[in-house]
Amino acid sequence: MKGNIFLHVVLSWLLLAVSADTEDTEPSIEVDGNGYLIFCLCMGRFGNQAEHFLGGLAFAKAVNRTLILPSWRTYKNIPFTDWFKIEKLAQYHRVILAEDFMRDLAPTVWPPGQRTGFCFSFDENTECKMKEGNPFGPFWDELGVNFDSMKAFTVAYHEPERWVQRFSPSEYPVVALKGAPASFPMATEHRALQQYMEWSDSIVEQGQRYIQQNFPGRKYVGIHLRNGPDWEKACGHLEGGLSSFMASPQCINPRSSEKVTQEICFPSTDIILSQIKEHVEETGATVVYVATDKNPLIHEIGSHLADLKVSVFHQDPWLPQLDLYILGEADHFIGNCVSSFTSFVARARTVHNKPTSFWAVR
């Protein structure tokens, strides 16, 4: 018995030694002969950037180039892996972190002097202006990229086969695009790619710390209230209803006869309170967690649910991603159908079969 264990230990030690040895002799990073793709997530805040990212991820796979994971944009570049795990994305397609690519591969694969920027346009004479304005300029500056030339192309992103012919990897080992090769709102068929977006350990730790410190082990309903003045103004365009408005395809099929109304976009406090109560009763929750850009309605919710002994929590986290994480973990989530911030939470919850509903949508 003892002898067997000893033998086993020696054998595993030998195996370890052998595999460590082979790793040493391999080059640290291989160059992808099928080329690389990078683009700026230069539109809007995180919710919009995430929708663009998933569309761009699908496109990178369709054209079979390694996706250089763009930094997220706040007032500065945030490395992709600060918020999400690269290992999970790699299960779907070949990816490399932009900061790693610039340090390890760009000097040989994409050296200064050979950096072309591309943008889609119906007119090939369009000037691309890759770095004009914010966040375009700061995004590339922070990655240390200057463009030696810029070219417009006319092949649309929904034609990956033609696109591959236009951009051969031997001629263009790296294709840098001005914007994401994706639509907004995102294509419905790309929503499932959310399964490859797994929060980084740091986000999970910070989100869990808040939950453990404030309402450990209690059931909670998470809600997203989009009610700032900019939003109220935007919702004003919905008089009479539209078939599609911003992220609304997440809950209303644009080809159906249903309309996105002002009420869905900017629900009244009465609607909000009655929907919260319904789901608090249904789930047996004793906590409501509120994420908002403006007014958390803490007192209104507290007094409406006074009989149910519900506590209301709201933080204005320095990282909106903490709100997204906490809403993702809730026993029920109620969000705004028109908002891409809500859409991120709703997609993440679908991955784990958690229920979501939307204000004023039945």
Per-position b or e across 7-40, b if 16+ CB within 10 A of its CB? eeeeeeeeeeeeeeeeeeeeeeeeebeebbbbbb
Query: In Å, what is the CA distance from 146 to each residue of 35, 65, 112, 207?
Result: 19, 22, 8, 37
Closest approach, Cβ 155 to ligand NAG, in A, equals: 18
For residue 203, the number of C-alpha atoms closer than 13 Å in the C-beta half-sphere is 21
Cβ-based nearer residue to ligand NAG, 60 or 360: 60
CA distances for 132 relative to 127, 140, 141, 270, angstroms: 11, 10, 11, 45
Q: Which of 43, 64, 210, 243 binds ligand NAG (CB under 6 A)?
A: 64
Return d(Cα 345, Cα 348) in angstroms, integer: 5
Q: Give the span between the Cα atoms of 62 and 314, in whole angstroms.
A: 41
The site for ligand NAG, by CB under 6 A, has a size of 4
Residue 32 lies near ligand NAG (rule: CB under 6 A): yes
Q: Stretches 5-13, 26-34, 214-222, 261-269: which one binds ligand NAG (CB under 6 A)?
A: 26-34
Residue 110 to residue 294: CA distance in whole angstroms: 44
Least Å distance, CB 150 to ligand NAG, is 26
- By C-beta, is 34 or 208 nearer to ligand NAG? 34
Minimum gap (Å) between residue 59 Cβ and ligand NAG? 14
Q: Cβ-count burial of 149 within 10 angstroms (0-12 exposed, 13-18 middle, 19+ buried)?
A: exposed
Least CB distance to ligand NAG at residue 108 (A): 17
> Least distance from C-beta 356 to ligand NAG, angstroms?
36
Return the H-helix or E-strand segment holding 73.
strand 72-73
C-beta closer to ligand NAG: residue 35 or 335: 35
Nearest distance, CB of residue 56 and ligand NAG, angstroms = 17
Instruction: Candidates 28-36, 70-78, 172-180, 340-348: pick the segment binding ligand NAG (CB under 6 A).
Output: 28-36
Crossing angle (nearest 10°) for helices 320-329 and 340-351: 40
Task: Compute the CA torsion angle 55, 56, 61, 67 (nearest 10 deg).
Answer: -150
- 327, 224 contact by CB (below 8 A): yes
The SS3 of residue 247 is coil
93 lies in the binding site for ligand NAG (CB under 6 A) = no
Structure tokens at 333: 């989530």
Q: In which element (H, E) is residue 350 found?
A: helix 340-351
Taking the least distance from each CB to ligand NAG, the nearer of 7 and 31 is: 31
Q: Is 27 in the site for ligand NAG (CB under 6 A)?
A: no
Give me the least distance between CB of 229 and ligand NAG, in Å please: 48
Nearer to ligand NAG, 174 or 211 (CB): 174
CA nearest 92: which of 125, 67, 119? 67
Q: Which stretch binds ligand NAG (CB under 6 A): 30-38, 142-150, 199-207, 224-232?
A: 30-38
The window from 31-39, 199-207, 230-238, 276-284 that contacts ligand NAG (CB under 6 A) reads: 31-39
Among positions 27, 33, 217, 240, the unique one binding ligand NAG when judged by CB under 6 A: 33
Of 33 and 133, CB closest to ligand NAG: 33
**Does 34 contact ligand NAG by CB under 6 A?**
yes
The residue sitting closest to ligand NAG, measured at its beta carbon, is 34
Instruction: For residue 170, state whether it binds ligand NAG (rule: CB under 6 A).
Output: no
Burial of 262 (0-12, 13-18, 19+ CB in 10 A): middle
Q: Which residues bind ligand NAG (CB under 6 A)?
A: 32-34, 64
